[in-house]
Amino acid sequence: MKVLFTYLFFLGFATHTFAQIIWQENFDTYADGTTTGTANSWTSVCGACATGDFFEVRSGAFSGQDVNDFSTWESESINIAGFSNVSFSLDAIEVGDHEGPACNCGINIDYFDVSYSINGGAFITVENWNGDGSAGHTLTGDSQNGTLDDDDWGNTTITQNGLVGNSLVLRVVVRNTAGTETLTLDNVVVSDVALLPVELVSFSASPQNNWVYLNWQTSSELFNSHFELERSWNGIEFETIGTITAKGDRFSGANYQFQDPSSTQITYYRLKQIDLDGIFHYSRIINIEGHSLFSNAPYPNPFTNDLFLDLASKSSLKFLSINGSQQKSVLLSEGRHNLSAYLKDFPNGILILHVSSAYGTRNYKMVKTK
């Protein structure tokens, strides 16, 4: 999941807007012809598409041409629990001259409808966006603002603010009936906006000696009680792993640090900032790749020619003869390595293998035999 962290400052002291992206899709990573998002993050149905028609990703956006009867794009159920002011936005792009209410063609008008469902309830349509739609439709061809042969809405960004709940599903339904007409969806973003009393400058995680060091900095704090540091293994379900008392004030912020044992899997973190009155807000979610120094000791031991080592992260290796007369250093990537090429000149007997990475160091006493 991509997460952006932004601030919009107003005149006056320390109050700012914190915007956290909860979910987004810009279709940039998909090949042309894709009709379902990664891990079913979105799906689409074009029940009346014929040969030559399409309702799919094209050139980094989701487009429909000559889809005949209505076709549907729908997001997964998006978790918005814990957010107090959710909004969404998406781009609606029209190419060609679509039929609308002014065409006197009854129900056979072309349209681009946007709706949303909160907590699994009925879908609510955003009606008559900017006057370029009609009752029951978000956008229609030959809009009420134009004439029979106008350019309709062209390109517009549809937004909806002030949503609250546990889950949100977005739905876009389009209809067009000619190969010269295309309707396109792009840049779908769901975010939360709230006024915060704490100005968070940075929040980061870095590995060191089998620990993850979590650091954050504020530049001002107003009515801040404390922070709770939360961890997750899937980026969705979080648990509290530490509580940190606020130490900044309204004129200056503070630096904070928390240590968490490193893991072999991807770990997600977020900050929960709690005001003196109990109101809380979340930071963006950050993650760190799971690593360990290695998955097992070098083998076999003793060894004659081949000596294998499995590395789970990039590491620096140093080979030392027991009397210190010979030494060699090498930097190796993640994966399985045969160290024989580095040891062929070493004499038989005991040698020390020193392995070091960002997560720590370890020494092995190895025996080379004839």
Query: At 162, which CATH number?
Result: 2.60.120.260
Q: Residues 319, 203: one domain?
A: no
Angle in degrees, CA 240, 242, 243, rounded to 5 = 105
Percentage of the chain with pLDDT > 90? 33
Q: Residues 238, 273: one domain?
A: yes
pLDDT for the residue numbered 144:
52
Q: Residues 211, 177: one domain?
A: no
Distance CA 326, CA 265 (A): 37
pLDDT for the residue numbered 106:
56
Tell me: pLDDT of 127 over 80.
Answer: yes
pLDDT for the residue numbered 241:
92
pLDDT for the residue numbered 9:
29
More confident of the two residues 58 and 278: 58
Q: Is the separation of the CB atoms in 316 and 350 below 8 Å?
A: no
Q: Residues 72, 178: one domain?
A: yes
Distance CA 139, CA 142 (A): 10
- Domain end among 259, 288, 317: 288
Q: Which of 63-67, 148-152, 271-275, 280-284 has the lowest mean pLDDT?
A: 148-152
Q: Residues 176, 325: one domain?
A: no
Show the domain range for 346.
308-368
> Peptide bond before 197: cis, by omega within 30 degrees of 0?
no
- Domain end among 176, 194, 212: 194
What is the chain's mean pLDDT, rounded? 82
Confidence at 13, pLDDT banded by 50, 70, 90:
very low
Dihedral sign from CA coordinates of 124, 130, 136, 139:
negative
User: Read out DSSP for 59-111?
Assistant: TTEEEEES--S-EEEEE--EE-TT-SSEEEEEEEEEES----GGG--TT---E
Distance CA 176, CA 141 (A): 9
Alpha carbon 195 to chain centroid distance? Answer: 23
Tell me: pLDDT of 14 over 50.
Answer: no
Mean pLDDT of 47-53: 86
- Domain end among 163, 194, 225: 194
pLDDT for the residue numbered 16:
45
pLDDT for the residue numbered 370:
74
Tell me: pLDDT of 147 over 80.
Answer: no
Element (H, E) at 174: strand 167-175
Distance CA 160, CA 118 (A): 13
Distance CA 20, CA 7 (A): 9
Mean pLDDT of 265-272: 87
Q: Residues 245, 279: one domain?
A: yes
pLDDT for the residue numbered 348:
85
Q: Residues 327, 254: one domain?
A: no
Number of domains in the chain: 3
Whether residue 281 lies inside any domain: the answer is: yes
Percentage of the chain with pLDDT > 70? 84
Tell me: pLDDT of 233 over 50.
Answer: yes
pLDDT for the residue numbered 190:
94
pLDDT for the residue numbered 6:
31
pLDDT for the residue numbered 1:
26
pLDDT for the residue numbered 10:
27
Q: Which of 30-44, 143-157, 273-287, 301-315 has the lowest mean pLDDT?
A: 143-157
Tell me: pLDDT of 119 over 60.
Answer: yes
E strands of 108-223, at which residues?
A: 111-118, 124-125, 139-140, 155-163, 167-175, 182-196, 198-208, 211-221
Confidence at 8, pLDDT banded by 50, 70, 90:
very low
Q: Residues 17, 130: one domain?
A: yes
CB atoms within 10 A of CB 361: 13
pLDDT for the residue numbered 11:
22
More confident of the two residues 325 and 196: 325
More confident of the two residues 172 and 99: 172
Tell me: pLDDT of 362 over 60.
Answer: yes
